[in-house]
Structure 1
Amino acid sequence: MGFIAYLVLGLIAAVIAKMILPGRQGGGWIATLVVGVLGAIVGGWIGTTLFGVSVDSFFEISSWLCAIGGSIIVLIIWGLITRRKGVAERR
């Protein structure tokens, strides 16, 4: 998969992940793109390691599921980091 296709996959996966997760995730489209690309990397790594599938082709459902799942994981981790930071600043 090419670089531009990977960026588009990451952006769309992050938008879908933000719609799936409840709550308010901040950030504009650049932050969403970063979350999506990181999610695609994480999802591809987990998919390859655990299930033997990878993010190789733009039009395969396994690529999309790995990217969306990875984006959800990245959003959860980001939410935990920013929540702790906000609690520490309020004290």
Structure 2
Amino acid sequence: MDFLWMLLIGLLVGAVAKFLMPGNDPGGIIVTMFLGVAGAFVAGMLGRGLGWYGEGEPAGFIASVIGAILLLVVYRLFTGGGRHVHH
């Protein structure tokens, strides 16, 4: 059940990150979920490194969204994604 909850929250976090940074990114719901889950992981690691979270404590929702946005920026830098094609 925890895994399903993590995927649901990941989907929500990833969707918020993509909403805040619109663009033409490939991938559907799975990529969005991965972005959110990975964003929460990155936020948790950074937060623990900075002393904001204790060991094993999950990152907050806003921090997770910020982590997902950071991953989306890095992803777009490496793939050239997020650019709108104008005809």
> Structure 1 residue 40: deviation in Å?
1.1
State how far apart, in whole Å, the 2-side matches of 1:20 and 1:31 are.
16
Secondary structure at the aligned position of 2:26 is classed as: coil
Say whether residues 1:64 and 2:53 are aligned partners: no
Distance (whole Å) between structure 1 residues aligned to residue 43 and residue 15 of structure 2: 15
TM-score where L is the length of structure 2: 0.76
Between structures 1 and 2, the one with greater helix share: 1
Structural RMSD (CA):
2.1
Residue 27 of structure 2 is matched in structure 1 by 27
Task: Tell me what 1:18 maps to.
Answer: 18
Equivalent runs, 1:78-89 vs 2, <5 Å: 78-83=75-80
TM-score where L is the length of structure 1: 0.73
* More deviation, 21-30/69-78: 21-30
Q: Give 1:73's aligned residue.
A: 70
Structure 1 gap ranges (5+): 56-61, 85-91
**Contact 1:9-1:67 within 8 A present in 2 as well:** no
> What's the CA shift for 1:42?
0.6
Moved more, 34-43 or 20-29: 20-29
| Offset of residue 13 of structure 1 | 0.3
> Identity rate of aligned residues, in percent?
33
Partners of 2:6 and 2:63 lie apart in 1 by 12
Shift of 1:25: 2.0
Alignment of 1:48-59 (within 5 A): 48-53=48-53, 54-55=57-58
Amino acid at match of 1:11: L
SS where residue 48 of structure 1 aligns?
helix
Distance 1:51 1:5 in 2: 26
